[in-house]
């Protein structure tokens, strides 16, 4: 994670696919899915109990994404490799970020805070019982958290996600028992006293000069929207991590890798007000049923609070 990756944010677009091919036509996405009560999985997630090894399913998804010109891979994070880099052990746990701005931008046009959960991502891991799992945020989760009801691209994103993950894992998609959260739940937002560029640059400088933190990716949602002829107010996200703090949480529940690394969204509204938003680590821990990690959560919470304060304050 030491190398900074400067990449375009491609916010999600796919089409229907066969078991081994990338999707080709969004309007015909129709992967089989099953609504069940999976109480052991985080709220708002789609789940595949993979019939192939997690590493193989990950590689299949990556291959399918690369075959589709409409989809771009934004970043890959190997949580188990990062754990090893700080002398800790973690079974296979890897996440891939990908998307297409034609479908993601309308979500942020409705609510810029949706950019905190974009681009979309899929986590693959092998749990303590050697089960191979693929996990992703459902459209119901995104819609409820960011008040996105009525955005027409939601259904296309949902069908595409099912098809992509089903093809990679050779299994049907199931859903956690609870899919929706409250509007804005788990999001901390602060108002900046600086301009958009000054706020973002202050945040980036604070991250890049901290030897314990690695910047994983920087995504300019506004520029990506413009690349497909869509308008969006200034919106940037920066993704960063610290394996020393994240790995102990992953060792408790690997599913939390879906919400790691950490990220901060800098955005400007129609009135020219600038904000910094990020996920509350206590919300993330609760979402993934993590208990007994109060000291680490306090450390993460304090670090995020200090970073955001640095970004917004003169």
Buried-state track 126-165, b at ≥16 Cβ within 10 A, e below 16:
bbeeeebbbbbbbbbbbbbbbebeebebbebbbbbbbbbb
Q: Is the pLDDT of residue 19 over 60?
A: no
The per-residue pLDDT for range 152-199, each reduced to its tens digit, is 999 999 999 999 999 999 999 999 999 999 999 999 999 999 999 999
Q: How far apart are CA 301 and CA 304, in angstroms?
A: 5
Sequence-ordered strand ranges (E) for 105-198: 120-126, 132-137, 173-176, 187-191
Beta pairing, strands 33-38 & 173-176: parallel
Q: pLDDT tens digit string along 54-86?
A: 999 999 999 999 998 888 899 999 999 999 999
Q: Residues near 39 by Cβ (< 8 Å), separated by ≥ 6?
A: 176, 177
- Left if phi > 0, otherwise alpha if psi is -120 to 50, otherwise beta: which for 267? beta
The yes-or-no verdict on residue 100 having pLDDT over 90 is no
pLDDT at 198: 98
Same fold, 26-176 and 187-312: yes
DSSP-derived letter for residue 304 is H
Partners of 126 in the β-ladder: 132
Residue 286 has pLDDT above 70, yes or no: yes
More confident call, 68 vs 303: 303
Confidence at residue 298, expressed as pLDDT on a 0 to 100 scale: 98
CATH architecture observed for domain 26-176: 2-Layer Sandwich (3.30)
- Buried (b) or exposed (e) across 182-221, using 16+ Cβ within 10 A? eeeebbbebebebebeebbebbbebbeeeeebbbbbbbbb
Report d(CA 286, CA 8) in Å as an integer: 31
| CA neighbor of 117 nearest in space, from 107, 128, 126 | 107
Answer for the pair 277, 265: CB distance below 8 angstroms, yes or no: yes
Residue 24 has pLDDT above 50, yes or no: no
Q: Confidence band (pLDDT; 50, 70, 90) for 6?
A: very low
Tokens of 23: 């999707």
Task: Specify the long-range contacts of residues 191-197, CB closer than 8 Å, at least 24 apart.
Answer: 191/273, 191/274, 191/275, 191/312, 192/266, 192/274, 192/275, 192/276, 192/311, 192/312, 193/312, 193/313, 193/314, 194/274, 194/311, 194/312, 194/314, 195/274, 196/234, 196/266, 196/267, 196/268, 196/274
List the domain boundaries for the chain.
Answer: 26-176, 187-312
- State how far the Cα of 8 lies from the Cα of 266, in Å rounded to an integer: 16
One of 3.40.50.2000, 3.60.21.10, 3.30.310.70, 1.25.40.10 is the CATH number of 187-312, namely 3.30.310.70
Report how far Cα 282 is from the mean position of its chain's Cα atoms: 17
| pLDDT, tens digit (0-9, with 9 covering 90-100), for 121-147 | 999 999 999 999 999 999 999 999 999
User: Locate tokens 């000291």: which residue?
Assistant: 295
The pLDDT score that the predictor gives to residue 8 is 39
How far is 44 from 137, CA to CA, in rounded Å?
6
Overall pTM surpassing 0.85 (yes/no) = yes
């Amino acid at each position: 994670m030491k190398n900074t990756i400067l990449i375009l944010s491609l916010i999600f677009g796919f089409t229907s696919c066969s078991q081994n091919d990338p999707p080709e036509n969004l309007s015909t996405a129709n992967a089989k899915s099953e609504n069940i009560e999976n109480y052991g999985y985080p709220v708002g997630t789609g789940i595949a109990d993979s019939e192939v090894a997690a590493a193989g399913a990950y590689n299949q998804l990556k291959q399918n994404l690369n075959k589709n010109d409409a989809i771009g891979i934004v970043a890959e994070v190997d949580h188990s490799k990062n754990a090893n880099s700080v002398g800790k052990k973690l079974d296979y746990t890897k996440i891939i970020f990908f998307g297409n701005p034609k479908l993601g931008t309308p979500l942020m046009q409705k609510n810029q805070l949706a950019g905190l959960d974009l681009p979309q991502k899929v986590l693959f891991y092998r749990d303590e019982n050697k089960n191979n799992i693929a996990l992703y945020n459902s459209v119901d989760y995104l819609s409820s958290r960011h008040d996105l009801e009525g955005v027409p691209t939601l259904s296309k994103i949902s069908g595409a996600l099912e098809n992509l993950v089903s093809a990679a894992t050779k299994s049907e998609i199931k859903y956690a028992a609870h899919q929706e959260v409250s509007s804005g739940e788990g999001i901390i937002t602060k108002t900046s006293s600086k301009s958009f560029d000054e706020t973002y640059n202050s945040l980036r400088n604070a991250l890049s000069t901290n030897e314990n933190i690695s910047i994983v990716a920087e995504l300019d949602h506004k520029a990506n929207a413009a690349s497909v002829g869509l308008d969006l107010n200034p919106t940037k996200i920066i993704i960063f991590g610290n394996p020393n703090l994240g790995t102990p949480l992953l060792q408790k529940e690997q599913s939390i890798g879906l919400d790691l690394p950490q990220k901060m969204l800098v955005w400007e509204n129609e009135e020219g007000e600038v904000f910094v938003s990020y996920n509350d680590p206590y919300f993330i821990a609760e979402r993934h049923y993590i208990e007994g990690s109060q000291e680490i959560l306090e450390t993460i919470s304090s670090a995020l609070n200090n970073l955001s304060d640095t970004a917004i304050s003169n």
